[in-house]
Structure 1
């Protein structure tokens, strides 16, 4: 397992924006683009911006599907995931990016249990 402390927030703040950080780290979107995408979902749904419902809807707009995961830690997920791919990984009340088998987050979430996984296809964004 490799963990890289990383904060994609342009002001290096840790303000409960894990879903924005995870999306912009796992995709070619900038922090501001990911934030705007989630804000659109908040407006449409009326739910909080960091709910699984809004995050999965935002990812769906990017053509990324979210799948249920087997009960394993983020650390064990990184050992068998496609190391040439990027993922938005959902754990309890948190989202984290896994890119090329490396966990990118503001804190080491490697021992948290994975609930949902969204695999980001590089080919899709290369179009």
Structure 2
């Protein structure tokens, strides 16, 4: 299931999916979240917080679900994930995108439920 939601304080649709997803899933202020990500990125020695390795380090304290490719079978899609996980808060690493899923609903600025899910981190504040 998908619901349109934009955590950006000015409602701007921009390429900020990492900040939007983390701010949404952790219920943090967007600008505060962006400042925190920039600070952590510098501390960990990354050039950007969109780097996949940065995300793995930043979210490493959260339980992680991995969805490996199975030969001959389609990968799990965002829509499948929402059905399999109707409760809880997750950050989903998808094909070329990051989004938030809360209680079986993907919250984002566009419907990305058709994208494959590679990893999900459970956010347990």
Q: Name structure 2 gaps, 5 residues minimum.
A: 69-74
Aligned counterparts, 1:32-43, within 5 A: 32-43=31-42
CA contact (8 A) 1:42 1:48 kept: yes
Q: Name structure 1 gaps, 5 residues minimum.
A: none
Aligned length, in residue pairs? 118
CA contact (8 A) 2:46 2:54 kept: no
CA contact (8 A) 1:38 1:55 kept: no
Aligned counterparts, 1:1-127, within 5 A: 2-44=1-43, 45-60=45-60, 63-70=61-68, 71-81=75-85, 83-121=86-124, 125=125
CA-atom RMSD in angstroms: 1.5
Higher helix share: 1
Could you state the TM-score of these two structures normalised by the residue count of structure 2? Answer: 0.85
Could you state the TM-score of these two structures normalised by the residue count of structure 1? Answer: 0.83
